[in-house]
Amino acid sequence: MKNQKAQQDELDQVLSGMDALDDLDALDFEVEEVTASANDEQQEVAHAEDIVLEDDDVAAELEVEVEAAAQESDDEPEIDDTIEAEIKAAERERKLKEATMSEDEVEAAQAKSAKTGKAGKKSRAPVTAAPREPSEAIDVAALIASKVQPTMSHWKMIPGMDEETAELFKAELEAQFEALPKKTREKAVNLMDWFVRGRSLSVFVGIAFDVLSSQGEITPADLRNRYQSNPGKSYTQGTANAQTGQVMQILRTFQIIDSDGKINEKHAMISAFKEREVEDKVA
């Protein structure tokens, strides 16, 4: 009997130990669940913070773009008032003409515009007006000829040009004007208006001329840094980037600089800038 009781006691101890192990396993499982849950919550919080940061970045970028557009608009009327009025009058005349067009005439205009890549999708519904031309499609050569009215001597911008080479140079420039985007086209008109009639020069082109006059060459990095650290008024990164692209294109188009950014020292526009700068200081 004693042996049986002893065996029973030993069995009870073994069973008791196994129960204790089961309790520990259950506890570990619960701890793991709690830990996993805590980790999930931390990940969700981190993800939410990332989303907020991304939203902040987008908002900041939009703010820079809006500020750049506002600065560009406020600081610089790119085209003289009389020329801008002429553009608006031509636009009004075009709209009046379109309003009286027949459907067949509208469709013909759409087909013609589609060939040049300027028209939008053709509408199947009854149409009362032709698709609107892109606002950047101002005729730079026509505006310069009608409003600025340069003589052939003005087109002799590079020393050694005679009448024939000046004509070729003018034709080459006019062909390049057609490929310029809207704001750059406006700068082309403004630059000729300043050169021929002495109107106010674009602020951003004037800064580029100043850099060229002092350094003898210019790079996009030079110009961008100058805009952002310009004495008197510095410009945001967005404005500096946009203006750098436009002005560098203008300088190359008029052959004021070569492909490496080196100044054409004897270019008529550079000479005019230096002369007028001296006159302004004396005055």
Are 223 and 208 within 8 A, CB to CB? yes
Taking alpha carbons only, the member of 203, 211, 194 closest to residue 268 is 194
Domain layout of the chain by residue ranges: 1-75, 80-134, 138-282
What confidence score (pLDDT) does residue 128 get? 43
Confidence of residue 39 (pLDDT cuts 50, 70, 90): low
Three-state secondary structure call for residue 200: coil
**Model confidence pLDDT, tens digit, residues 158-191:** 999 999 999 999 999 999 999 999 889 999 999 9
**Model confidence pLDDT, tens digit, residues 122-172:** 444 444 444 444 454 589 999 999 999 999 999 999 999 999 999 999 999
What confidence score (pLDDT) does residue 241 get? 96
What confidence score (pLDDT) does residue 3 get? 55
Confidence of residue 75 (pLDDT cuts 50, 70, 90): low
Q: Which of 135-144, 262-271, 272-281 has the lowest mean pLDDT?
A: 135-144
**Model confidence pLDDT, tens digit, residues 192-216:** 999 999 999 999 999 999 999 999 9
Give the whole-angstrom CA distance, residue 57 versus residue 105: 49
What confidence score (pLDDT) does residue 30 get? 46
Give the whole-angstrom CA distance, residue 236 versus residue 175: 33
Q: pTM of this prediction? A: 0.59
Give the whole-angstrom CA distance, residue 15 versus residue 20: 9
Three-state secondary structure call for residue 248: helix
DSSP code, position 154: G
Cβ neighbour number for residue 250 with a 10 Å cutoff: 22
Helices marked H in the chain — which ranges? 2-75, 81-99, 103-115, 140-143, 163-177, 182-197, 203-215, 220-228, 237-253, 268-282
Q: Which residue's entry shows tokens 């204790």?
A: 20
Are 46 and 154 within 8 A, CB to CB? no
Give the whole-angstrom CA distance, residue 75 versus residue 73: 6
What confidence score (pLDDT) does residue 84 get? 67
Highest mean pLDDT among 7-11, 24-28, 225-229: 225-229
What confidence score (pLDDT) does residue 102 get? 58
Confidence of residue 279 (pLDDT cuts 50, 70, 90): confident
Give the whole-angstrom CA distance, residue 58 versus residue 78: 30
